Amino acid sequence: MKWEDVCQAFPKQWVLVEAVEAYTNEESKRILEEIAPLKKFSNSPEAMRKYQELHRENPARELYVFHTSRKNPNIVEKKWVGDRGKANS
């Protein structure tokens, strides 16, 4: 589905979606060409709990939580430098 289709199918809802087809453009914005809605929610904490559960099960999945009132998902990738999460010796 396209984002517009998700917004029409789930108006004024929080949705957990998975990127099916996506790429990063020159401005480091993640463009979601095709997404699969996984579940709708009435509030963001509930949606984030489900996101965390699925992410723990399979961290390689590209999952997002959005509210369908957004015109565009607008995802900006951040590049990390260094040893994130590693203890210093």
Q: Which residues, at least 6 apart from 10, have a Cβ–Cβ distance to it below 8 Å?
A: 37, 40, 68
Q: Give the tens place of pLDDT for each residue, 30-88.
A: 999 999 999 999 999 999 999 999 999 999 999 999 999 999 999 998 877 766 555 55
The pLDDT value recorded for residue 37 is 97
Instruction: Provide the token pair at 14.
Output: 């929080």
Residue with tokens 């999952």: 63
The pLDDT value recorded for residue 78 is 84
Q: Average pLDDT, stretch 5-28?
A: 96
